[in-house]
Amino acid sequence: MQAENESLARVRIRALMKLMVLAAALLLMVVMLGYAFSGPVDTRGETLRVDLGEIAPGEAGRFVHGNRHVLVVHRDAAWQAALADDDELVDPGARRGQQPDGLDLPLRSFRPEWLVVIGEGTDLGCELDLVHPDDAEDWSGGFVDRCRGGRYDGAGRVYAEQSARRNLPIPDYRFVGDEQLILENP
């Protein structure tokens, strides 16, 4: 009789272990499916406020707004001087492209020392790296696409003879005083 009780206890323990493994597997599957089918967080309609005092001259702040990467570049004197040297651009006058009305062209900004661009290449949508004019070899610096190496100058204008053919988009933005920039409704 005792052998029968021990055998029955082992069967119960095995059944309990199998149920626990099955429950863990189901929980893992639910978590994975929830992650797989959840899209990016939709931030449309939200306002992005950028403290300009936190971005040093020659540097860029990287932000995500409306599911897009946004770069806010504090152009120092070297950036501004390098902009005029680019003859090999597709659109040197920056007359085409997605940009708000009233920008100072070809600087593509409301203030010469600040540039706000969508920080994704215009052909594949890959993130961009910032290349300061002092660090650029054989070109004036600007932005480089991480996927194909497509280049844009310090105003977001695309260079000719590469796969990207459009200037970087400029989102709608405005300044609040000298220390804050606001992007709304991407």
In terms of domains, do 77 and 2 share one?
no
Q: CB-hemisphere CA count at 13 Å for 52?
A: 19
* Residues 57 and 15 placed together within one structural domain of the fold: no
Number of helices followed by number of strands (H, E) in the chain = 2, 9
Judge whether 75 lies within some domain. Answer: yes
Nearest-CA neighbor of 183 among 129, 96, 93, 119? 119
Percent of the chain with pLDDT over 90: 49
Query: Do 2 and 54 belong together in one domain?
Result: no
> Whole-angstrom Cα distance, residue 138 to residue 151?
12
- Are 106 and 30 part of one and the same domain? no
Q: What average pLDDT score do residues 137-163 get?
A: 91
**C-beta of residue 146 within 8 angstroms of C-beta of residue 158:** no
Number of domains in the chain: 2
Query: Which amino acid is located at 154 in the chain?
Result: G
Name the residue range of residue 89's domain: 48-183
CA atoms of 142 and 115, how far apart (whole Å): 11
Residue 64 has pLDDT above 60, yes or no: yes
Q: For the whole prediction, is pTM greater than 0.75?
A: no
Element (H, E) at 144: strand 142-145
Q: How far is CA 9 from the centre of its chain?
A: 59
Residues linked to residue 158 through DSSP beta bridges, in sequence order: 152
* 79 and 4 inside one domain: no
**Predicted confidence band of residue 59 (pLDDT cuts 50, 70, 90):** very high
Which residue is listed with tokens 């961009």?
128
